C-alpha cells in the first residue's frame, strides 16, 4: 500500500451456488380425458440462488403416434409472466405455470418438459 511492500497476505474464499428451479408438485399426472377435451393443471416454479433477473423458457415434448404422425398436445402459459425477479433481500419470486393437454388422437405419454433460463440452467 502506498508503494510500500507489505508483509500481509489476504486469502479470500467463497461458495458459488448455481441457480436452479424447484417444482411444486415435483411431478404432474394429468387426468385421462375424451378426445379433443382439454385437461389442465398448475405448478409452482420456485427459483433458487438467482443473483440477477432471468427469464424462463419451456421446451415442450413432441409425441410420435402409432401412425408416425408427430403432435405437441401440450401448451403452457405463465399468468404472472416468465421473469425471475430477485428482490433486494436476495429472494426470487415464484412463478405459476399453467399446463394444458388436448389431443384429437388417442395418446398416452410419460416424459419431461424442460424448463430452462436464459443461461441454460
Instruction: Give the CA angle between residues 14, 121, 72 to the nearest 5°.
Output: 170
pLDDT of residue 103: 92
On whether residue 2 sits in a domain, the answer given is no
Q: What's the CATH code of the domain at 49?
A: 2.60.40
On whether residue 13 sits in a domain, the answer given is no
The burial class, CB within 10 Å (0-12 / 13-18 / 19+), for 16 is: exposed
Determine the 3-state secondary structure of 38 from DSSP. coil
On whether residue 74 sits in a domain, the answer given is yes
On whether residue 9 sits in a domain, the answer given is no
Tell me the pLDDT tens digit for each residue of 80-96: 999 998 887 777 889 99
Place of cell 410420435: 64
On whether residue 1 sits in a domain, the answer given is no
pLDDT < 70 regions, the chain: 1-2, 4-6
Counting the structural domains of the chain, the total is 1
The answer to whether the beta carbons of residues 113 and 74 sit under 8 Å apart is yes
On whether residue 11 sits in a domain, the answer given is no
The answer to whether the beta carbons of residues 113 and 59 sit under 8 Å apart is yes
On whether residue 91 sits in a domain, the answer given is yes
pLDDT of residue 6: 66
On whether residue 10 sits in a domain, the answer given is no
pLDDT of residue 1: 53
pTM of the shown model: 0.78
**Residue ranges making up the domain that contains 49:** 20-117
Amino acid at each position: 500500500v502506498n508503494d510500500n511492500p507489505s508483509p500481509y497476505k489476504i486469502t479470500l474464499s467463497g461458495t458459488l451456488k448455481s441457480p436452479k428451479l424447484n417444482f411444486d408438485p415435483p411431478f404432474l399426472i394429468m387426468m385421462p380425458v375424451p378426445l379433443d377435451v382439454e385437461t389442465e393443471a398448475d405448478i409452482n416454479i420456485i427459483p433458487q440462488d438467482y443473483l440477477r433477473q432471468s427469464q424462463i423458457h419451456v421446451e415442450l415434448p413432441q409425441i410420435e403416434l402409432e401412425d408416425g404422425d408427430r403432435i405437441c398436445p401440450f401448451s403452457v402459459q405463465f399468468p404472472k409472466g416468465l421473469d425471475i425477479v430477485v428482490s433486494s433481500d436476495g429472494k426470487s419470486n415464484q412463478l405459476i405455470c399453467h399446463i394444458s393437454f388436448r389431443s384429437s388422437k388417442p395418446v398416452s405419454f410419460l416424459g419431461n418438459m424442460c424448463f430452462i433460463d436464459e443461461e441454460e440452467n
